[in-house]
Chain A
Amino acid sequence: GAVVSQHPSRVICKSGTSVKIECRSLDFQATTMFWYRQFPKQSLMLMATSNEGSKATYEQGVEKDKFLINHASLTLSTLTVTSAHPEDSSFYICSARVGGSYNTGELFFGEGSRLTVL
């Protein structure tokens, strides 16, 4: 199956700094990628939908100026947590949908990135 890779898998940063998380589709082109956030013992919550070459669509309650999403190519989307605070500590997961004529509707997930803000 398709492979989605996230980097870094773990990151620790100081409060007030910014952190960038990358999500890559390794063997397919993804016109649409999704970013989720997972709190301990909670489900994945969709944060935003990232479309290649256009602005991301954010879910209600997600601050677009705090969680910057860039989908500059068909294989890469980035999530930047700006001015991070301890409450931003969480597990961030991306997924990608196979695009173009091969769209099966199935999503493929990255391994997740655990952010800890001190």
Chain B
Amino acid sequence: GDSVTQMEGPVTLSEEAFLTINCTYTATGYPSLFWYVQYPGEGLQLLLKATKADDKGSNKGFEATYRKETTSFHLEKGSVQVSDSAVYFCALSDSGGGADGLTFGKGTHLIIQP
């Protein structure tokens, strides 16, 4: 079945550091890929997505590129801020994120120190 593997946390960085959170997946078809963010006390929010190979999703300074050859969708940001502290989930869907829900990774807790 489908699965998503992302790096274990917590990841602790200083403000303005470069961020990479690795995500790899296994899927039977050509899935859509997502990054969700969960701020403390809040529900998950879609951060960015990519629906086909070589697509790049971007939002709020975060980027991730759909790499079919390496089955990866790593999240990057050039300069993190304290407000980026949250839990980040990589996810995939075999049906565009709609018909059958999402398969999530375990989440990576990101802590940004001033």
Within 8 Å of chain A (Cβ to Cβ): is B19? no
Q: How far is the CA of A107 from the CA of B102 in the complex (A)?
A: 9
On chain B, the residues within 8 Å of A97 by CB distance are: 97-98
- Contact: B101 with A105, CB < 8 Å? no
> Which of A43, A49, A104, A108 sits near B101, CB closer than 8 Å?
A49
- Contact: A95 with B101, CB < 8 Å? yes
- Contact: A34 with B101, CB < 8 Å? yes
Q: Interface code A24-39, partner B: CB below 8 Å = 1, 0 otherwise?
A: 0000000010101000
- Contact: A49 with B89, CB < 8 Å? no
Within 8 Å of chain A (Cβ to Cβ): is B20? no
Question: What number of A-B contacts does a CB cutoff of 8 Å give?
Answer: 60
Q: How far is the CA of A36 from the CA of B3 in the complex (A)?
A: 16
Interface bracket on A: 20 to 34
Q: How far is the CA of A52 from the CA of B1 in the complex (A)?
A: 27
- CB-based nearest B residue for A112: B43
Most B CB contacts (10 A, CB to CB) among A36, A109, A112 go to A109
Tell me, rounded to whole Å, the shortest Cβ–Cβ distance linking B96 to chain A: 4
- Contact: A105 with B98, CB < 8 Å? yes
Q: How far is the CA of A109 from the CA of B13 in the complex (A)?
A: 28
**Residues of A near any B CB (own CB < 8 A):** 4, 6, 32, 34, 36, 41-46, 49, 93, 95, 97, 103-112
**Residues of B near any A CB (own CB < 8 A):** 4, 32, 36, 41-46, 49, 89, 93, 95-107
A-B contact list, 5 entries, CB within 8 Å: A36-B104, A95-B44, A97-B97, A109-B36, A110-B43
